[in-house]
Homo-oligomer: A and B are copies of this chain.
Amino acid sequence: MSPSPCAGDRVIGKTSDLTISVFCLAINRLSLSLKSKHDMTYCLGIITNDGLVMAADSRTNAGVDYISTYQKLFDFSHPGERVLLLCSAGNLSVTQGVVSELEKDLKVQEDTNLHNITSMYEVARYIGGKLRKIQEYDEVWLKKDGIEAQCSLLLGGQIQGQNPELFLIYSQGNFIHATSDTPFLQIGETKYGKPILDRTLSYNTNLESAAKCALLSIDSTMKSNISVGPPINLIMYEKDSLAIKHRLRLRLGDPYLAKIRQLWEESLKQAFDCIPHINWQHREDDSPENILID
């Protein structure tokens, strides 16, 4: 199944007209609300001293017999004035509903829309409100058939004159933001891709390395879990540039993706071979002191 026209339109930052948008919203609800029971994906946001990285896979499934591709990374930027990137995971009908609402407010130039809100905090609050609205609209009907309306969003961006920020908006519409202590936030199928972030990433990591780390984190997840799959979408945003200059889309079987995976596997195997065999003669000393290791 190919992506719906609405998803595609939103992704490239173009706006279809309101009629189409509302039509798509209706179609999405009709066709997807009953199917997105096991919707899973993996999205990742990283904030560093030098900017932001946002990455997402594109797999949506409602059980193993209904696997399809939907882009989960949306660009709502207004180049030169603000950069706004959104990633979504969870019930597809809800997250598509949120994106449609955001787009509609932009199109009809609502008093409050993504291009006139004055801080990233307020943007997160506004998107959280849209999430609540869609859930209120659908939740009773979904719950009636035991379908989860849960979803979550990552919001990264920068408004002119302010610092870049990265938020995780929960299914309840509340949110947290990343700090220099924990410079990444994940949604969806987060566990497989976390070890590499924990081991290689800090707030001071240079932006190119952070982007590489994001790609390897998603690739590790794809390797271990079929609910996460290509195309991978990746954006690297340089602080204060107020424009997206680096973006990448890697489809299944892309030779570049295959090459990176092969290189990473070889490097990992070499790293593994560097570790000496276990010293079975090692005896636990009797010291009761437990030294915490990070």
Contact bitstring A84-99, B, C-beta under 8 A = 1, else 0: 0000000000000000
Number of copies: 2
Docked-complex contact A268 and B200, CB < 8 angstroms? yes
Which of the residues B252, B269, B275 comes within 8 Å of A216, measured between beta carbons? B275
Docked-complex contact A268 and B199, CB < 8 angstroms? yes
Cβ of A8 within 8 Å of any chain B Cβ, yes or no, is no
| A contact residues, total (Cβ < 8 Å) | 61
Contact bitstring A262-287, B, C-beta under 8 A = 1, else 0: 01110111111011111110101100
A199-B216 Cα distance, complex, nearest whole Å: 13
Chain B residues with Cβ under 8 A from A208's Cβ?
A: 277-278
Cβ of A251 within 8 Å of any chain B Cβ, yes or no, is yes
Cβ of A117 within 8 Å of any chain B Cβ, yes or no, is no
Cβ of A166 within 8 Å of any chain B Cβ, yes or no, is no
Interface residues of A (CB under 8 A from B): 191-192, 194-196, 198-200, 208-209, 211-213, 215-216, 220-221, 223-225, 231, 234, 236, 246-254, 256-258, 260-261, 263-265, 267-272, 274-280, 282, 284-285, 289-293
